[in-house]
Amino acid sequence: MRDIDLLVTAGFLYPMSPGFPVWRDGEVAVAGNRIVHAGPRQPDGTWRAKRRLGGPGMAVLPGFVNCHTHTASIVFRGRTDDNTRGLGLYDVAFRMEKSIGREEWRDLSWAGAAEMIRSGFTTVNDLWYAPDLLAEACVATGLRATIANKIFDVRLERLSAEDYTHYPEIGEARLREGIDFAERWHGREDGRILARLGPHASDTCAPALHRTIRAEADRLRLGLHVHTAQSRREVEEIGRRHGRGPLELLRELGVLGPDTTIAHLTFATDADLDAVASSGAHYAHCPTMYPRRGRYPRFQAIVDRGIQTGFATDWMQNDPFETMRYAISALRLIAGDADVMPCREALARITIEAAKTMGLEHEIGSLEAGKKADLIVVDLDRPHLQPFYGDYAALVFYARADDVATSVVDGRIVYDQGRLALVDEAPIRAALARHVPIWHSRLVELGAGI
């Protein structure tokens, strides 16, 4: 009999391991923060577990991996999604985010981290402001995170007026803050908190700044995280300045590489996609954001080039099941083919493939002996999930974020029975509520909302 810390039993176990087996009556055994067994139930007497979770009415799967997100971005909810002439990012978000203070970033980070955990995400790849405050929120709540400070050298709030003046001192300060964060935090919590450098986008850093960021990332042995070909404006600006596409430019500047996660590619040309493929950079695809902006990236052209691709939420909409469903709906409609993006692939794209996109597939993304114990338990005893036969489609088409009953990160329970296990959420929600009137009036001043 082997002593273990946690035994998670499952009516249906979806380990997302090679071959994609689904085990009826499966189990995951955890010792410390590592999985020692994930597969069929072992005979009684195999384990002496300190704690048990799950049960026959539960599905167990790897924790979801969100390979491109802005955890604190809930502040914009409903204010950049609709009737913005496609410019919510420039006219609202870029202007509003510059007015957010430290205390607000802290409260948004804690609320965002809590929501990620509630939704079944156990890992985020974040690129935004106040990385130290988000890291503190992740330490406290138990979320796993790779975090990058957003680096740019333009006045983002001036982009809506098409003012692209570069200010080297802004770039230096943003880069310095990112490096300071990485030096203090990379590898903390037994590797649960990692850092990257985050050049915001192809058009919001001057070429010299892009080169410096790459040099610093290589010196510090950190990866990069960047938005690319996200908007028509970005592509037109890079075309005007450099006579090529944003990905072609980033490859020339050395930004792209196997350690780089790039988000979006919405307006990428064939030449851009070839640049990504030849560089070995990885792609974060954000299915819930593209339809609301009226343009879907050429997913098939991207994966056909062998570009490593995972799913992500980008911002505000953090239900992983919705993310999968948006992707399936869009891709099947675009192709006119009901067999495109099968549910098993959709689930893989937001677990093991998203982990690969972050370069973390050796540690997370599937339930296999030796990996970190990051998993979720989904309650199947809900009316909208019954009867449950165990198909991938039964989970992907019908489950919701709030069907997640329990989450485990690094072998530690971080969410159970509707409550975060490590922090009290009431003060987090109260803090958020105190800020709402201020955010509301600032957003109205910017012409967003009523």
Give DSSP secondary structure letters for 127-157. EES-HHHHHHHHHHH--EEEEEEEE-SB-GG
- Closest to Zn ion by CB, 266 vs 406, is 266
**Are 411 and 33 within 8 A, CB to CB?**
yes
> Measuring CA to CA, which residue among 73, 181, 183 is closest to residue 131?
181
- Closest to Zn ion by CB, 97 vs 314, is 314
Minimum CB separation of residue 12 from Zn ion in Å reads 33
Over the window 260 to 299, marking each residue x when it contacts Zn ion by CB under 5 A and - when it does not, the resulting string is ----------------------------------------
Which two structure tokens, joined as six digits, stand for 66? 């969100």
Give DSSP secondary structure letters for 318-343. --HHHHHHHHHHHHHHHHT-TTSS-H
**Are 309 and 282 within 8 A, CB to CB?**
yes
What residues have CB less than 8 Å from 360, skipping those under 6 apart? 65, 123, 146
Cα–Cα distance for residue pair 226/116, rounded to 1 Å = 21
Minimum CB separation of residue 6 from Zn ion in Å reads 34
104 lines the binding site for Zn ion (CB under 5 A): no
Minimum CB separation of residue 133 from Zn ion in Å reads 18
Q: Which stretch binds Zn ion (CB under 5 A): 138-146, 311-319, 338-346, 347-355?
A: 311-319
314 lines the binding site for Zn ion (CB under 5 A): yes
Cα–Cα distance for residue pair 181/395, rounded to 1 Å = 38
- Closest to Zn ion by CB, 119 vs 230, is 230
> Measuring CA to CA, which residue among 226, 237, 158 is closest to residue 203?
237
27 lines the binding site for Zn ion (CB under 5 A): no
**Closest residue by beta carbon to Zn ion:** 314
- Closest to Zn ion by CB, 150 vs 412, is 150
Over the window 377 to 416, marking each residue x when it contacts Zn ion by CB under 5 A and - when it does not, the resulting string is ----------------------------------------
- Closest to Zn ion by CB, 9 vs 119, is 119
- Closest to Zn ion by CB, 127 vs 341, is 127
Report the interface residues with Zn ion, using CB under 5 A.
314
